[in-house]
Chains A and B, each alone.
Chain A
């Protein structure tokens, strides 16, 4: 077990190394483009260009450039964005991380809990009006684009009905630090959480329902019935447990991507300056150091999320333990 974890950890490092090399090559070694000019930004003076060239080691071999870049991101943390006039990149990323993590973690808890309940109820009452209603609602949730839903939410909670009793508690848009104001942190995030979770509740509820119904056809379910177990126990202990594997796979992929910046639309709609927003702005300005840092950060979370999923697999499915 310990060895397996260690091996998985080594794989993670290797994947991240691969990603960093590829991203580095794309942005800094594309033939015909001068990375120094890119980093220095438009209308940079020859002195600035020279300083950039020297500071990033562009006058030296490629591997030295790569090592310099990694050192600036991970060791010294003094990677500087020239486009944004000397803005330090690493602290900017660090400031954005809690915003995105707060948003995605909260939404994830919400969507996992609600979709498991929906999946179980729909599977248990298969083909009834309740099942059909839940699945139709799920489809509706999947069909609503998150930016549109977010704006509608804002329209309702921030302007149209803000003064009614139902939404007067909703604070203005923006992010509040958990350490400064836990209550404010929670209240500002409630609407974004719901908005982001609705899409995933729809998807996960439907996936889980299908997986449970498939499990219920299995031979071991017949055995469980022959044992004289109650239907509830069969559903929860035998069918649900074996259905969670597909669910966890999906969750790892979605969670990693969201933490890595895919929550961009939600962040923009609700004025949250998270990783998605940061990456988007960096791409707009072609801010190479910032892009490098955010991509490294995003890949790290995708890789970590996948490793966590692999561990959860091992917990869920003993067949994977012996290898």
Chain B
């Protein structure tokens, strides 16, 4: 196992009370495996991976549980040790390539900065490596691209630069936080191809956060669906798409327009909106929006249970 997260809880102290953004998330990630993490905004998918990266800097946050990277506990690791892993063994790609790069430095400089933070090599050597990396992420003219500033590149190109940066130290684990959300559909496809290719060449394991079921169905080996800070269903891609068990997963899949056959006049939507993390319902968080909820759902929270394909729903446990 590259990554093993157990009962992760992240909460923030706010003026309005304690907000539990992540409530007991557990998952495993094998070598060069792609895990898709799906959920609406506010479901906790980004926060849980920021916790893995040790990038929750808010002094009001508290992180409990266990995050093991190659058997090494990351929760409570001193910042210096964590920094040695970050960017080196665990790298991250962010959602918005427009703002993810420092505007005043060339992309070559920024990628080389990361390499030199972790490897003791000369500037010239680092620049050679940058050129290789940019070629690898399909920059048409890598040598010239190195001296470009972020604002001189298109969104897709910037995201490629960010990916090149993430790969610069051959990370064993790559966390991608909605890397295609801010991009055009055609550019998206290119980025997805790239991630797939890089998984093959670099043997990195990838956690791919998205709210797009279509992206998950193309890319992920295994899928984890999150809702209101908890994992509601997990399983392999096949299991999840052919046999969705949790009503939320079903509703998500139901709201994808079909590619073939007759198109519905209106796309089915999930009624209501995600609950505020400050006022979570006592029972199942999805209960108020769930078409099949019954008495137990209102009083206690269903557990995810064990097994490769599992759903946190009393209806599923009943069946």
Write the residues of chain A forming the contact surface with B, with a CB cutoff of 8 angstroms: 218-220, 222-231, 233, 237-238, 241-242, 316-319, 322
The answer on a CB contact under 8 Å between A228 and B104 is no
Chain A contacts for B149, CB-based, 8 A: 318-319
List A contacts of B114 (CB < 8 A). Answer: 227-229
- Interface size range of chain B in the complex: 20 to 34
In the complex, are the beta carbons of A224 and B102 less than 8 A apart? Answer: yes
CB distance from A189 to the nearest CB of B (A): 35
Residue among A220, A229, A230 making CB contact with B101, cutoff 8 Å: A220
A226 to B111, CA, bound (A): 12
Task: Say whether A226 contacts B104, CB under 8 Å.
Answer: no
Residues of B within 8 A of A237 (CB): 113
Mark each residue of chain B from 68 to 95: 1 if its CB lies under 8 Å from any CB of chain A, else 0.
Answer: 0000000000010001111110011010
* B53–A226 touching, CB < 8 Å: yes
Partner of A228 from B106, B118, B152 at Cβ < 8 Å: B118
Given contacts A222-B55, A242-B102, A318-B103, 5 further A-B contacts (CB under 8 A): A223-B102, A223-B165, A228-B118, A241-B102, A317-B103
**Inter-chain contact A223/B100, CB cutoff 8 Å:** yes
Closest 4 CB pairs of A and B: A228-B87, A219-B99, A228-B86, A227-B87
A318-B149, A319-B151, A322-B152 known; A229 vs B113 contact (CB < 8 Å):
yes
Q: Does B260 contact A (CB under 8 A)?
A: no
Contact B165 A227 (CB under 8 A): yes
* Binary CB contact string for chain B from 113 to 126 against chain A (1 if under 8 A, 0 otherwise): 11001100000000
B86 cross-chain contacts in A, Cβ below 8 A: 225-228
Q: How far is the CB of A5 from chain B (nearest CB, A)?
A: 20
Are A229 and B104 in contact (CB-based, < 8 A)? no
> B31 at interface (Cβ–Cβ under 8 A)?
no
A226-B86, A228-B86, A229-B117 known; A218 and B104 CB under 8 Å?
Answer: no
| Known A219-B100, A220-B100, A318-B151: A225·B57 in contact at CB below 8 Å | yes
Q: Within the assembled complex, what's the spacing in Å between the Cα atoms of A223 and B168?
A: 14
**Interface residue B162 (Cβ < 8 Å from any Cβ of A):** yes
Q: Which residues of B contact A226 (CB under 8 A)?
A: 53, 55, 86-87, 91-92, 94
Contact of B99 among A220, A231, A238 (CB under 8 A): A220
In the complex, the chain A residue whose C-beta lies closest to that of B98 is A219
Q: Name the distance in Å between B174's Cβ and chain A's nearest Cβ.
A: 11
Quick check: B83 and A228 within 8 Å, CB to CB? yes
Partner of B103, one of A220, A224, A225, A229: A220
Given contacts A226-B53, A226-B55, A226-B87, contact A241 B104 (CB under 8 A): yes
